[in-house]
Amino acid sequence: MDIEDKVAIVTGGGSGIGKAISEGLAAAGARVVVGDLDASAAARTATSIGAAAVVGAADASTGDGIASLITLAEQEFGPVDIYIANAGISGVNGLGGEADWDRILGVNLRAHIRAMEQLLPGWRSRGSGYFVSVASAAGLLSQLGAAGYAVSKHAAVGFAEWFAITYGDDGIGVSCICPLGVDTPLLDAVRASTELSGRIGAESIVQSGQVISAADVAAATLEAVRADRFLVLPHPAVLDMYRGKGNDYDRWISGMRRYQRTLRG
């Protein structure tokens, strides 16, 4: 999809990857609704962009929050062409409880589904639209320590894949972004954990590959949108890991157990 003159919504646009993608879209000629629960953070991003951006203070995990972002985009710029489902949380360490699972699945998965429920009819009627799922390498591999994060990111990848297959012939593009460690407030929060499972998760992230910048992920994302490419791996080594996992699943699980033991010390 050509990005110039398109209307985009970016959730979690107040910081990290969402901020970098918002700025990249605007630099490419798009008009952007910067969505975030933190209105001040969204405003800082919008201010850095200028007239091509507006602030959407909303909870993008809820149907009402998503609807408010879409309405704002339509009022300010026109119909939404690109939706970047970037907002995400790391959740609790370990297995967690019922409320923990409800929360992380609501943000990391159901938010994507709810957005597409609202945008899909218009995209199909116009024969054009683009959905970007900012998932994680954890959605292809796994994540030590945090069950909710690993499972919700697997589910996000699965939903993006299904959506691409089901609606690709209707002119709708999909990209799924799966980085390893990225220098963002989310990674900072994981690193700051005082729990053993949290420390294990943080170490597994930073040791698995170079921690790259949010700008690196944004550049790879915009390139994928232009090329209509599904799987985006800002860390190319993830592909070899993914192939190794699929080639011998039992060996991979044994290796992950062994790696977890070394991190426990």
d(CA 159, CA 117): 12
- Pull the structure tokens for residue 110: 């159901």
> How many residues belong to the chain?
265
- State the burial class of residue 252 (Cβ atoms within 10 Å of its Cβ: 0-12, 13-18, 19+): middle
Question: Given 83, 130, 149, 167, which residue is catalytic?
Answer: 149
d(CA 82, CA 105): 22
Cβ proximity of 191 and 221 under 8 Å: no
Name the DSSP letter for residue 32: E
Identify any residues that bridge with 130 across adjacent strands, giving them in sequence order.
82, 173
Which residue, among 17, 43, 24, 11, has the nearest Cα to 223 in the 3D structure? 24
Active site residue 130: no
C-alpha 30/C-alpha 76 separation (Å) is: 13
Residues that are catalytic: 149
